[in-house]
Amino acid sequence: MKTDFKFSNLLGTVYCQGNLLFSPDGTHLFSPVGNRVTVFNLVDNKSHTLPFAHRKNIARIGLSPRGNLLLSVDEDGHAILTNVHRRISIYHFSFRSPVTALAFSPSGKHFAVGLGRKTEVWHVPSTPDVNTEGVLDFAPFVRHHTHTGHFDDVKFIEWSSDSRFFLTASKDLTARIWSLDPEDGFVPTILAGHKQAVIGAWFSEDQETLYTVSKDGAVFTWKYAKPKNHTEDDRMDDDDSDMRWRIVEKHYFMQGSAHVRCAAFHPRSNLLVAGFSNGTFGLYEMPDFNNIHKLSISQNDIDFVTINASGEWLAFGASKLGQLLVWEWQSESYILKQQGHFDSMNSLVYAPDGQRIITTADDGKIKVWELSLDSALSRSLSTPAA
């Protein structure tokens, strides 16, 4: 009798809550499914669920730039660091507080977490494939610095491309610019002017421009400049005392009563995508705010959106119905379109060949799950709800 049972895969759900992540090459998508993380191979149409499990549902996940380390944090702030390629957990740690934002630096040497109103920057542990001595740090999480100043929860963190600075966006209606290490002439900067919570802030590719988006649909463009009312003589003056980050343009998403739920920006292509509470998303070209594309993909809130490295694929998560979608905007086609059961499953049966599982649930759906080649993708059949 076999007793060495091992976890193989997770069926029935594809997205629950939290953020989505593309792998550095853009071919894999990481999705939180309850207290686990599922990885979707978008090229081969396969998926697998990582074997570790949190005690509570996952709230945030972060991936190192090399794609070898995954940091997942549950609702209580308990974190698990995982080696993605080997599919093993390396380290367990508690931040002692719910994590509201998480982002690795492009250099891969640090990550920043939002812990309520404060932001902490931590050193990333070295691993055998990057450490010159080929050893793993025994105390992998070392805090580098704590940044305070926001008056409400930090909801978003974005690093500059050189990893010297990072942006935080908060429910206190502001975004802030911080430096990783002390910089000559730099002081932490407040970007104020929004009337509702700021849900995202980004650097342009040349880092000369900043973009911020708020819940009410306002998009502000910021530049480091002097006031507009300066005379020509003032502009020729070498005095930079009045140089600061200023709003140079304001744009607005016109979505009626719907508000912005999430947004993402791709610096290389200057593409801004926003997901709204009415289930639609819009794709805009910055800095002119030209609407390239608009589509309705759900009947409920779009909770999270992200863009892959090439800027071609957009991934969306809608938690109410457990929907996960990947959209190629140039060809206007779905790369992935999955939805788990959003009500209790009541029966399950294997196909005679053992390569498929059929499930039924109280949501009136029959789903066929493909198990061959480690795949866990489903096809859905609708039935009249009782």
Domain ranges of the chain: 21-348, 349-386
pLDDT of residue 352: 87
Per-residue pLDDT tens digits for 296-350: 988 889 999 999 999 999 999 999 888 999 999 999 999 998 887 777 888 888 8
What are the angstrom distances between the C-alpha of 363 and each of 247, 266, 341? 48, 37, 7
Contacts of residue 40, defined as CB under 8 A and 6 or more positions apart, other chains included, come to 14, 28, 29, 31, 46, 47, 324, 326, 336
Whose CA is closest to 314, among 263, 251, 260? 263
Average pLDDT of span 44-73: 93
Pairwise pLDDT comparison (386 vs 12), residue with the higher score: 12
If pLDDT is split at 50, 70 and 90, which confidence band does 386 have? very low
Report the alpha-carbon distance of residue 219 to residue 200 in Å, rounded. Answer: 10
Residue 16 to residue 224: CA distance in whole angstroms: 40
Confidence grade of residue 373 (pLDDT, cut at 50, 70, 90): very low
Say which amino acid occupies 335: I
Sheet of 174-179, strand order: 154-159, 165-170, 174-179, 189-192
Q: Above 50 in pLDDT, residue 127?
A: yes
First to last CA, the chain: 41
Cα separation, 100 vs 17, whole angstroms: 12
Residue 69 has pLDDT above 80, yes or no: yes
Quote the pLDDT of residue 358. Answer: 85
Going by C-beta distance under 8 Å and a sequence separation of 6 or more, which residues neighbour residue 31?
14, 15, 20, 37, 38, 39, 40, 317, 324
CA distances from 113 to 11, 145, 251, 303, 329 (A): 30, 11, 29, 20, 31
What phi and psi, each to the nearest 5 degrees, are found at residue 380? -115, 140
**Token code pair at residue 32:** 């939180």
Per-residue pLDDT tens over the stretch 90-108: 899 999 999 999 999 999 9
Q: Average per-residue pLDDT in the chain?
A: 88
CATH code, 21-348:
2.130.10.10
The reported pTM is 0.89
